[in-house]
Structure formats: C-alpha cells, structure tokens
Structure 1
Amino acid sequence: MSGLFVAIGDSFTEGVGDWDPRLPNGVRGWADRVAKQLSKADPGWRYANLAIRSRRLGSIMHEQIEPALAMEPTVVSFYAGGNDLLELRKDMGRLLQDYTRAVERLAESGARILLFTGFDVPLHPLLEPFKRRNWVFNEHVRALARQHPDSISLVDYWTWEAYYDRRMWDTDKLHMNRAGHRFMAIQILNLLGVRHQLEFEPFGPRERLGPVQLVGREAEWMRQWVLPMFGRRLRGITLGDALEPRWPEPIYPADGMKKLYRKRRKQERANSAMPAA
C-alpha cells in the first residue's frame, strides 16, 4: 500500500555523513534510502525531507512540523533535540516540555510516528555532562513512545551495539557515515515491516591503535571538529544557515532521486538566467 513518508529534524535526518554531491545539499542519508525501498515495494509512495543540519528543537517545531502535517503524511520520522543537548547552558525541563508538545502534535495527525533515542557516542571526558543529558532525554523519548503505542514506533538507536564500531561514523564522530546510514535504513525498514533489498556486510577485524595513536587522533578530533563547533555556537551561526530542505515537496522516489535533482537544478539555472521583469 502506498503513502507519504515525511522526514523532519536535523543533520541526522538530512543525511550528513553520507556524502553524495549528486543529491540535494550534497548528502543522501538513511531517510532517502528508506524512501527508495518504500518506492520499490510500491511505486506510489511519495517522500519529502524537511530536515536541515544544526537545527534545534524550537526551529524544527516552528519550521517543519506544520508544513509536514499539511502534506497529510502516512509516516513521519521525528529526530530532534540533539543540538539542544550540546548547548553550553540548556534548561532540560523546558527542552523536555517542548519535545513532548511536538510529539503530541504529531501523534494527533493519525500518521505513524517514528521517534528515536540518541546513541551513546563515545566522547572525550570533558564532554561527559552532555552524555548525561542524553540519558535523561532518551528515557523521556521512551516514556512518550509507551504513552502512544498505537501511533508511535520507537527506533531505539541507543541499544544498537553495531554503532560502537567507529567504522560506522564519519570523522567528526557525531554523524553516521555511509555504512551507518545504510544500517539505520535497514533497521527502520524492518521496524516498518517493509520488504527491502538492502544488505549490510559485516566489517572485518578492527584496526588496533597504540596509546600514542589514540591520543593523537583524539587531539586532532578536538581541534578539527569539537572546538570549531562550539566556536560557531558562541558566534550564533550554524552549518545549516544557508541551506534549504532537501526535498521540500513530495516526490516519487520511483522516478529516481538523482534524476529528479538534476531536473530541479536545470530548472533553477534556467530561472536564474531569465531577465528580471
């Protein structure tokens, strides 16, 4: 049976880490992969993705939830709050209240809602307070899923041991890489009960690193990713400021997403070349 799948949220749902210049915003991601498999099961499935990297919960509630519901979706995925948890000062009580309001609004729609816990990403000891916030947040997500068993399906990302392998992660350690996004798509399709053609080949033995290599890699990660991230936050800018949603209007993935994007880019170039009236 066909329907409409709408994905809303931040970089996790936009697809950051699964880089592909042939698709909008240069990424693919698990949501595109799920949409493609839904369309293979039934070409009538449509798909929209409103997620933008670095978006906080308040922005997602303001910019994405109502436009998503206006499309009358069959399935809505909602991953939000991760960027809020990384703020230096954050009122957790307010965050959990806002998240609850967002989930209840989505649950009212009659769509099937996918909620996600956040993964226990291995972090430097200096960042441990942010992990404790994640634990509290995850328990709240689980509680909401239990309260709405008829409308909410929980994607309990926290419990999946496969993601303890660093080969599932991009170099920033905060976003899944292509393998991680592919594995996520498989898990979600299985949860939805959708027959699919995706497979995940297990990795070989892990590379063993000595203490000096581990310390050097950790220092480089802090220099390249962590410090710039907090620097942007202090300046009030994000990596998503200049970006638009990847698929703002429903598309038919069965028509080929790369083909659809090429057509869109061609139309945008033609429009920009037209003289102003």
Structure 2
Amino acid sequence: MRYVALGDSFTEGVGDPSKHLPNGVRGWADRVAEGLARNQPGWEYANLAIRSKRLRHIAAEQLGPAVAMEPSLVTLYAGGNDIMDIGTRVADILSQYEALVDGLAATGAQLLLFTGYDVEVSAVLSPLRRKNHLYNDGVRRIAARHGAVVVDFATFEAYRNPRFWCPDRLHMSTAGHKFMAGQVLDLLGVPHGIAPKHKKQQPAPTWKQWGRDQYRWTADWVLPMFARKLRGVTLGDALAPRWPEPVRVPPRKGLKKLARKAQPHHRLP
C-alpha cells in the first residue's frame, strides 16, 4: 500500500506551517497519509510536490520517480500555475496534463485528480476564471476517460469561508488543508475525525479597512510575485521534495515522528 502525491504548492502543503516537518509545512496530503495509516497500518507515503512547479516540471521531475515507486494510490493537482502564466492556452495545458495522467494511469494505481477553485483574489485577475473553468471541464473529461476519481475542489462551497485561505489569497490555510484532507478521505471511504471548527462570522470590513487590506495584499504578495516572474525565478527553485522516497507512516504520532530521519530540508522563505 503506497500513496504518492504529485504537484505544486497545493500538494506540498504551503499555507499549513509546521516547523517540525520538511520544507516547514504539513498540508492535506500528509494528513491523508496519516489517515490511511491509522485506518490500515502499513501504508507508505511519498510527496514529490514542490511549490511553483508547472506541468512541464512535474512531468520532467516527478512522473518518472512516481512510476518507479509502483504506487497503489496517486493524487495529482497540477496546472494552476500554468493557467496563471500570461499567454498560455488551455488546450496546450490540457494536452500536457493528459500526457501526465496517461503515465500515472499506466501504473494501475487508483488515481485522484483535482479541479481548481475560483479563488476570490481580485477583479484584476477575473479574466483567469474562464481559463480555469475550461481547465476544470477538461480535468473532468480526462478523469472520466481514465477511470480516475475527481476531487471537485471547484464545487466545494466551504471554501467561500475566508478562514480557509492564507493572507496571499491563493493558498489554503491550515483550516483549508484540514478540510481538504477530510474530503479526500471521504472519497476514499476512509473513516476520520476531521471536522471544520465553526467560528463566529467576522463583520464585513469598512471601505477604509478594505482599501488598507488591498494595499497590503498588493505590496506583500502581488508585486513580489510579478517581480519573481520578471526575474524568471520561483519560490520552489531551492527546494527539494518533502518526502522524496516512500516512508512507512506510523499509525500513531504520524509523520512528525519521522521528520528527524528525513533528508535535510529548507524552511519556508
């Protein structure tokens, strides 16, 4: 029983910090691996995902190692960064995506594919929604052709809650990662105790607060992101996969018990 996770920051776990784990994050995939092991001891887990990776990087760097591991379960979330790149065509993105799925499906593993959520980031980025909708339709068609399970993130109403998102408005928070882990385990038919905590809804911000938040978000996240694009660098350039080789997941205490034995890793920038 071997679970292999591929993708970008979504699967790496960005937004769910943990100083005890590789790359300084935990994430939904770690939580799924732990849920599998608690339900049925003996599961092994590898996570090859690295933030900022495009489809071409995932195909070149993650597909071969994943196939060589002979997985019984594979999750793939990929393509979101390609959609956000200026000038990319959805048809080209889906062509690369299906080639990746073809390689993974050939392993005979149970395959879970994810649609992408329409993040309420800013009206400036609203044109990306059409690309995202076309991409999601393509993912569903590709999943149907390969007999894969769709984790239809795009339809999860719970993510309308701002508490499920980080200050950058693009990555899930710890609460968002926990909820996603529960959704994946539900689709796998694995019992778990993950449930969102219900907190009092915050009052709507005033216009002054909204303007201040927009300014801070632009300065802290948007401008640095475009600066990296201009320089041709990404936040994942200096990072290695969090769990590059399959590890046996302890049914108790989970992956933190193994963190000290993991390969040297980088912290969050």
How high is the TM-score relative to the length of structure 1?
A: 0.91
Q: Give the Cα–Cα distance (whole angstroms) in 1 for the partners of residues 262 and 90 of structure 2.
A: 41
What is the CA–CA distance in structure 1 between the aligned matches of 2:171 and 2:220, rounded to whole Å? 14
Q: What's the CA shift for 1:128?
A: 1.4
Letter in 2 for 1:133: K
Match of 1:130 among 111, 124, 128: 128
Residue 234 (structure 2) aligns with:
238
Structure with larger Rg: 1
The corresponding residue for 1:273 is none
Per-residue Cα deviation, 1:93-118 (whole angstroms, up to 9, x for no partner): 22111111111221122101110000
Q: Identify the residue that residue 71 of structure 1 maps to in structure 2.
A: 69
1:113 aligns to 2:111 (yes or no): yes
Unaligned runs of 5+ in 1: 270-277
Cα deviation digits, residues 232-256 of structure 1 (max 9, x gap): 0111100000100000001112174
Q: What amino acid is the match of 2:134?
A: V
Cα offset for 1:186?
0.2
2:91 is aligned with 1:93: yes
Task: Give 1:203 deviation, angstroms.
Answer: 2.6
Secondary structure, in 3 states, of the residue corresponding to 1:254? coil
Q: Which moved more, 1:72-81 or 1:215-224?
A: 215-224
* Bigger shift: residues 61-70 or 180-189: 61-70
Tell me the distance in 1 between the aligned counterparts of 2:68 and 2:261.
Answer: 25
Separation of aligned partners in 1, 2:44 and 2:262: 17
Q: Within 2, Cα distance between the matches of 1:165 and 1:187? A: 16
Q: 1:162 aligns with which of 158, 161, 165?
A: 158
Name the residue aligned to 1:103. Answer: 101
Matches of 1:253 and 1:46 in 2, distance apart?
Answer: 6
CA RMSD for the aligned pairs?
Answer: 1.4
Aligned partner of 1:68: which letter?
A
Structure 2 stretches lacking a partner, 5+ long: none
1:62-95 residue CA offsets vs partner (Å, 9 max, x unmatched) = 1001111111101100010111111122133221
SS state of the match for residue 51, structure 1? coil
Deviations 1:174-194 (Å, cap 9, x if unpaired)? 000100000000000000001
The secondary structure found in structure 1 opposite 2:62 is helix
Q: Summarize deviations over 1:11-37 as a string: whole Å, max 9, x none.
A: 000000000111000000000000001
Matched to 2:235, the amino acid is: L
Equivalent-residue separation in structure 2 for 1:45 and 1:56 (angstroms): 28
Partner of 2:37: 39
**Counterpart residue identity of residue 73, structure 1:** P
Q: Which amino acid aligns with 1:20?
A: S
Q: For residue 218 of structure 1, what is the aligned residue in structure 2?
A: 214
TM-score norm. by structure 2 comes to: 0.94
Counterpart CA distance in 2 for 1:224 and 1:166 is 18
Distance (Å, rounded) in 2 between the aligned partners of 1:22 and 1:208: 36
* Contact 1:37–1:197, Cα closer than 8 Å, also in 2: no
State the match for 1:189 in structure 2: 185
Aligned pair partner of 1:143 in 138, 141, 144: 141
Residue 249 of structure 1 is matched in structure 2 by 245
